[in-house]
Amino acid sequence: MSRQQEKSQPQATQSTTNNQPEDLSFDQWAVSVKRQMIASLKRRGAS
């Protein structure tokens, strides 16, 4: 049991540190989606 707990601890630390790059990528994805939405709206308005 103790071995499993030791293994679970480093995994938790890795997940917390990995959250930062994931957030950055999510922000970039959100920005790209917003740009696509704006572009589609402009196309509809122009047409």
* pLDDT digits (tens), the chain, 47 positions: 566 655 555 555 555 555 555 677 889 999 999 999 999 999 998 76
Q: What is the pLDDT of residue 45?
A: 86
Domain ranges of the chain: 1-47
Say what the pLDDT of residue 35 is. Answer: 97
Q: Would the pTM count as exceeding 0.85? A: no
Sign of CA dihedral 34, 40, 45, 46: positive
Residue 3 to residue 25: CA distance in whole angstroms: 34
Q: What is the pLDDT of residue 10?
A: 54
What is the Cα–Cα distance from 12 to 46, expressed in whole angstroms? 50
